[in-house]
Amino acid sequence: MTKTTAAPREKVIIRTSVIGIATNLLLAATKAAIGMAANSVAVISDAVNNLSDALSSIITILGTKLAGRAPDKKHPLGYGRIEYMSALIVSAIVLYAGLTALVDSVKKILTPEAVDYAPLSLILLAIAIAAKLILGAYVKKKGKQVSSGALVASGEDASHDAILSASVLASAAIYLLFSINLEAWVGAMISIFIIKSGIEMISDAVSDMLGARVDGELSAAIKQTILQEPEVHGVYDLLINNYGPEKNVALVHVEVDDAMTALEIDELTRKLQAAVYEAHGVILGAVGIYAANNGDHATAEIRENVRSFVVAQEGVLQFHGFYADVEKKQIRFDVVMDFSVKDRAAAVEAMRQALAEKYPDYNIHITLDVDVSD
């Protein structure tokens, strides 16, 4: 993950959005004029789509400005999640534009009207297609550069618009060459495509707001960074909470020797926090500790027997945090179950009872962990 300071990131988003607004307003005005002159619902639908893109960019700017507010007592981790809300509003606008255009297209299908394309109109449409392709590539590149979901979505939408505009141009060419009027049907096709994009964008925005599973590459990279410290024997339960683009706070458990002192653990924790932030831009908010006593032969034997039994059970994804105290007769460990297991708590209790029969003298405690990251 590339670390980007807040101020330059905000400037990039705003500058890119302003370019998008200006381009889309110009395209919307041009296409609206062409559509009204040619009596083409397809071209007018395309103009409405460009107008919604311009409005989307305005909302993106407002969302970025609000998301950049400094943290305060009420929101100590800042307002970054506002960007996800703005992405949701943008998605709703796209969906509304698609539905409106679909209604107009259906009306034209039911009551067809003649169209009249001028050669200049076709030339302007071709130029608009090229402009949209360039704009889409530029906005998407900038969005990825600063980790802005709203910009990436806008860039993808612009690229899709170019394809849709090409279909409008194609229908106009077919009409001029063969006198076959497809423009209402093309308008409907464009509308359905816009609606589909809006629904997908809403789904992505809602997923981000709910807390989607962390990217597998990022979680694997963070775990690898932590494992580089020789005192760490294992990394588990990595949970990353997102508070806006590039504002990730993580919690994790590491397994270390049970002989480590509090001072040594404190030093290790601080090293891990610095290493993870430096490498990935992720704040390691808390580091939990699993104590390992695998050096003892009797404990190691119990651990292997328990591990072999647990991992053989259906739905078990991970076994970790094992500790056995042969003097106090205690065994404890954590297990991660697949979400496909309908009653994970019951499955864990069945495991505990089976192990209690194998080790009747021991008090066995199993903690059910959630499969939060790869």
Spell out the residues 6+ positions from residue 367 whose beta carbon is closer than 8 angstroms to its own.
321, 332, 333, 334, 335
pLDDT, greater one: 112 or 308: 308
Would you state the pLDDT for residue 3?
A: 47
0.75 surpassed by pTM: no
High-pLDDT (> 70) share of the chain, %: 97
Would you state the pLDDT for residue 295?
A: 66
Q: What is the pLDDT of residues 70-112, one digit of tens each?
A: 888 888 878 888 878 877 887 888 788 788 878 878 888 888 7
* Average predicted confidence (pLDDT) for the chain: 86
Mean pLDDT value across residues 26-49: 85
Assign domain 214-291 one CATH number from 1.10.10.10, 3.30.1360.70, 3.30.70.1350, 1.25.40.10.
3.30.70.1350
Given phi > 0 = left and psi -120 to 50 = alpha, else beta, which region is 315? left
Q: Which of 77, 2, 22, 24 is closest to 243 using CA atoms?
A: 77
Would you state the pLDDT for residue 6?
A: 60
d(Cα 43, Cα 52) in Å, to the nearest integer? 14
d(Cα 168, Cα 265) in Å, to the nearest integer? 65
Strands 363-369 and 330-337: parallel
Q: What is the pLDDT of residues 248-295, one digit of tens each?
A: 899 999 999 999 999 999 999 999 999 999 999 999 999 999 998 866
> What distance, in Å, lies between the first and last C-alpha atoms of the chain?
17
**Any idea which of 67-81, 143-157, 217-231 has the lowest mean pLDDT?**
143-157
From the number of C-beta atoms within 10 Å of its C-beta (0-12, 13-18, 19+), residue 123 rates as exposed
| CB 319, CB 284: distance < 8 Å | no
Per-residue confidence band for 354, with pLDDT thresholds at 50, 70 and 90: very high
Would you state the pLDDT for residue 294?
A: 67
Q: What stretch of H or E contains 153?
A: helix 149-178
Third-level CATH fold of 6-210: Alpha-lytic protease prodomain-like (1.20.1510)
Task: Tell me the domain boundaries of the chain.
Answer: 6-210, 214-291, 293-374
| CB 287, CB 252: distance < 8 Å | yes
- Angle CA 120–124–128, to nearest 5: 170
DSSP state of 73: S
| CB 240, CB 282: distance < 8 Å | yes
Q: How many alpha carbons fall within 13 Å on the CB side of residue 159? A: 12
Q: How many helices (DSSP H) and strands (DSSP E) are in the chain? A: 10, 6
Q: 6-210 and 293-374: same fold? A: no
Third-level CATH fold of 293-374: Alpha-Beta Plaits (3.30.70)
Residue linked to tokens 């328990």? 306
Would you state the pLDDT for residue 110?
A: 87
- Which of 19-23, 152-156, 243-247, 316-320 ranks highest by mean pLDDT? 316-320
Residue 2 has pLDDT above 60, yes or no: no
d(Cα 214, Cα 240) in Å, to the nearest integer? 7
DSSP state of 326: T
